[in-house]
Amino acid sequence: MTEQSVTIKDEAVTIEFDEALYARDSIFGAAYIFIDRCYVHLDRPHPGRIAVTLKPKPSAEQDPEALAGEFENELLGQAWRRLITDENRLLIEQVTTRALSGAAGPPGLDELMDLEIGDETAFDDPLGIAMSWEEKYKSKNRPKPSESEQESG
Amino acid sequence: MLTLRFHKELYDGFVLDAAMRTYAAVASFERAEVGEYYEVRLTSSGRHPEQRIADELGNYALGASIEERTSSVRDAAYSANTKSPGAGE
């Protein structure tokens, strides 16, 4: 069986894909894009294969062959985007987790009560209580008093 | 009467039911399960051609099935991320 086949019948075009080459989610993604201008139907003619039938809506007359080509291009784009997302999934999850944990703010009383205090963590200061106000809120760009005095003098 | 077939691996049964409810004003539907397919028998109430209703129903069911699938994948990923506090570290 060929990897891909295109059949045109009446106004509709049916393209059959091998699921080993194109993931089902990529085919779904491409099909979703075409819903606004075509009637789209998916079928599974054989195990491991998905058939996509595109029938142009009356409002959008289109050549079935051109439609098939456009669908294949869109499918390739979807598959490529999916690959990039999969490759960067860990990075995306890390960034999201850090953003969410940062938005949660400093730990509350419950979290502090749950802390296990041992030799290694006894001197941790998650809330910065032991720090002076100046240390905690100092601006990195603000010149030190001695520097500004020298400049003015 | 028109008979439509939707493969169970590609179309969500609940979504198909919702689609049939949406188009209940223009047609009557009967749903059955035949092997790997949901089979929908459609009879137009007379105002619109059956083929047109079938096409629109198919698009509705496919679009909503894809949206449902996308959101369930996203929810699964989110719950997997939130259940393990060390995830992503």
Place of tokens 């599974």: A44
Compute the count of residue pairs across chains A and B with CB atoms less than 8 Å apart.
Answer: 48
List chain A domain ranges.
4-90, 109-152
**Residues B11 and B66: beta-carbon distance below 8 Å:** no
pLDDT given at position A61: 76
CATH number belonging to the domain at B2-82, selected among 3.30.1360, 3.30.110, 1.10.3470, 3.30.420 = 3.30.1360
Span A41-85, pLDDT tens digits: 999 999 999 999 999 998 877 888 899 999 999 999 999 999 998
Touching check for A12 and chain B: CB below 8 Å?
no
φ and ψ of A130, to 5 deg: -80, -10
Q: In a mutagenesis test of the A interface, which of B59, B71, B81 is the best target, namely the one with the most A β-carbons within 10 Å?
A: B59
Asked if A39 and B66 come within 8 Å (Cβ–Cβ), the reply is no
pLDDT given at position B76: 74
Residues of A in contact with B63 (CB under 8 A): 32, 35
Place of tokens 């809120």: A137
Span B34-75, pLDDT tens digits: 999 999 999 999 889 999 999 999 999 999 999 998 887 777
CB contact residues (below 8 A), chain A span 27-86, against chain B: 28-29, 31-32, 35, 39-44, 50, 55
Least Cα distance to A36 among B55, B64, B59, B51 occurs for B59
Span A117-129, pLDDT tens digits: 777 777 777 777 7
Classified by CATH at the fold level, domain A4-90 comes out as Alpha-Beta Plaits (3.30.70)
Span B10-22, pLDDT tens digits: 999 999 999 999 9
